[in-house]
Amino acid sequence: MLRSKRAQSTLEYIIIFTAIVGAVLLAANAIIKPKVQNIIEHTATQAEKAVEHISFE
């Protein structure tokens, strides 16, 4: 009986920990994704500007 309660308690902690990690990952994704997209767009714009000045003739 005591072993069963201990296993149940451990499982509950694992479920709670998994939920917390999932919430942190979702929040990080919501915060980081727009910033990464902004960096990529800025880099692409700068690359296009640099190529405009190159003559391939």
Q: Where are the beta strands (DSSP E) in the chain?
A: none
The kind and range of the H/E element at 42 are helix 2-52
Residue 57 has pLDDT above 90, yes or no: no
> Which is more confidently placed, 57 or 23?
23
The predicted pLDDT at position 1 comes to 53
CB neighbours of residue 47 within 10 Å: 10
15-43 pLDDT tens trace? 999 999 999 999 999 999 999 999 999 99
> Which is more confidently placed, 38 or 8?
38
Residue 56 has pLDDT above 80, yes or no: no
The predicted pLDDT at position 38 comes to 96
